[in-house]
Amino acid sequence: MRLQLTQLLLLLQRQEDVDAATAARDTRIVRVVRHLHDHYREHVDLGELAALFFVSRHHLAREFRRHTGTSVISYVNDLRIDQAQRTLVETEQPIGQIAEQVGFGTITHFNRVFRDRTGRTPRAVRAERPVAPGR
């Protein structure tokens, strides 16, 4: 009986260790996502991001995809395009300025990613926005 109790306690301890490791990984990914939301306008380098969170590039890429279903760069581009769409509809800023503001290095790259993500061009999105009274 004592042996069975010891085995049960060891099994519970192992499960607790596994749960703690899983929670630590989950917490790390939450912190990475929060960091990306705060810094999506900046250049994102997977190696630098991994170093910031004390993991390898490969480990970060694998864990990020496992938790979010997408790559780090794809996630960042989605954040950038979401913000660009809001800015296109809410302001009169030039499209090139918006591209730069949300973190794209060139307007060509911005236009390509925007079209790939939305199926429309930035110019078309702006043209389709509702007209506010007095505009």
CATH code, domain with 123: 1.10.10.60
> How many domains are there within the chain?
2
Rounded Cα distance between 125 and 134, Å, is 20
Higher pLDDT, 70 or 135: 70
Residues 41 and 94 grouped into a single domain? no
Q: Considering only CA atoms, which of 102, 97, 96 is closest in space to residue 84?
A: 102
Of 25, 46, 69, the residue at which a domain comes to its end is: 69
Examine residue 135 and state whether it is found in any structural domain, yes or no. no
Residues 20 and 64 grouped into a single domain? yes
Q: Considering only CA atoms, which of 40, 122, 42 is closest in space to residue 78?
A: 40
Locate 112 and state its tokens. Answer: 């390509």
Domain containing residue 113? 75-128
Asked whether the CA dihedral 11, 12, 13, 14 is positive or negative, the reply is positive
Count of C-beta atoms within a 10 Å radius of residue 28? 18
20-67, pLDDT tens digit by residue? 555 566 789 999 999 999 999 999 999 999 999 999 999 999 999 999
Examine residue 134 and state whether it is found in any structural domain, yes or no. no
Residues 107 and 55 grouped into a single domain? no
Residues 12 and 42 grouped into a single domain? yes
Distance of CA 75 to the CA centre of its chain: 4
Q: Evaluate if pTM is beyond 0.75.
A: yes
